[in-house]
């Protein structure tokens, strides 16, 4: 319980409140540069919580993308049920100087301009940060192909599907299934699994690679 008084008043007021302040500036550096009052800084700096920038939370991007696609599709009465793997990878690689607000705007614009159930993001706008390297997928049953673009796309798509299936213990459908995590219909995911040679057995997830022609 804190006590305070009005300026010029004679009565003490009791308050039971907590002050939460947020900023995107480096206040400690500003104090050192005498651009921010040190007494105010130390009053505010009781329990600091640093929220990393979106570019530091790459694993959150697919979840946010699927959430925004679902939300803006509902608002605008659109049906978007597929997010191409190359689009998702471009969104993950981008450095997002505008953080989540920029991602939200990009997805809303993409939903509005998409003329089919496939999300259409202008990849030309998503230039990777200089010297950035895509984070390797934790599920990597094969070495990444080095030359053929189609092989690279299939390798990336297979890894994304395998990761989702591992995280859901092989569950494909339902609100917590792999299809929902990937932002596609169950039938679409099953078709991709057949095309990429991914099989589900009763005991294990099998990656047989693409079916033989």
Q: Where are the domains of the chain?
A: 54-125, 149-175+184-207
Q: How many helices (H) and strands (E) would you count in the chain?
A: 8, 4
pLDDT of residue 208: 43
Is residue 159 a contact partner of residue 137, using CB atoms and an 8 Å limit? yes
What tens digit of pLDDT does each residue of 132-168 get?
444 444 433 444 444 455 666 777 778 888 888 888 8
50 φ/ψ angles, rounded to the nearest 5 degrees: -95, 120
Nearest C-alpha neighbor of 129 from the set 69, 56, 61, 64:
56
The two three-digit tokens of residue 178, written as one number: 């792999």
28 membership: H or E segment, kind and range: helix 27-32
Q: Is 28 left (phi over 0), alpha (psi -120 to 50) or beta?
A: alpha
Least confident of 42-56, 64-78, 132-146: 132-146
Residue 205 has pLDDT above 80, yes or no: no
Using 50, 70 and 90 to split pLDDT, how confident is the model at 69?
very high
Using 50, 70 and 90 to split pLDDT, how confident is the model at 70?
very high
Residue 200 buriedness (CB in 10 A; 0-12 / 13-18 / 19+): middle
Is residue 144 a contact partner of residue 155, using CB atoms and an 8 Å limit? yes
Task: Tell me which of 1.10.8.60, 3.90.1300.10, 1.10.3720.10, 3.20.20.10 is the CATH number of domain 54-125.
Answer: 1.10.8.60
Nearest C-alpha neighbor of 107 from the set 125, 129, 93, 95:
125
What tens digit of pLDDT does each residue of 83-113 get?
998 899 999 989 888 888 999 999 999 999 9
Q: What is the DSSP letter of 144?
A: P
CA–CA dist 73, 89 (Å, integer)? 21
103 φ/ψ angles, rounded to the nearest 5 degrees: -60, -45
């Amino acid at each position: 319980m804190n006590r305070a008084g009005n300026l010029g008043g004679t009565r003490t007021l009791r308050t039971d409140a907590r002050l939460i302040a947020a900023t995107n500036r480096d206040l400690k550096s500003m104090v050192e540069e005498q651009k921010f009052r040190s007494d105010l800084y130390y009053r505010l700096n009781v329990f600091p919580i640093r929220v990393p920038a979106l570019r530091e939370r790459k694993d959150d991007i697919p979840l946010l993308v699927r959430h925004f696609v679902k939300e803006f599709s509902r608002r605008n009465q659109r049906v978007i049920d597929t997010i191409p793997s190359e689009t998702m990878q471009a969104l993950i690689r981008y450095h997002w100087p505008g953080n989540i607000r920029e991602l939200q705007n990009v997805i809303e614009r993409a939903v509005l301009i998409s003329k089919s159930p496939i999300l259409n993001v202008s990849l030309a706008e998503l230039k990777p940060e200089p010297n950035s390297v895509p984070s390797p997928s934790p599920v990597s049953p094969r070495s990444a192909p080095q030359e053929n673009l189609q092989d690279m796309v299939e390798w990336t798509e297979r890894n994304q599907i395998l990761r989702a299936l591992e995280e859901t213990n092989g569950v494909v459908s339902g609100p917590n299934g792999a299809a929902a995590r990937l932002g596609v219909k169950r039938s679409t995911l099953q078709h991709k699994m057949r095309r990429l040679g991914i099989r589900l057995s009763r005991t294990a997830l099998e990656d047989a690679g693409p079916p033989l022609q």
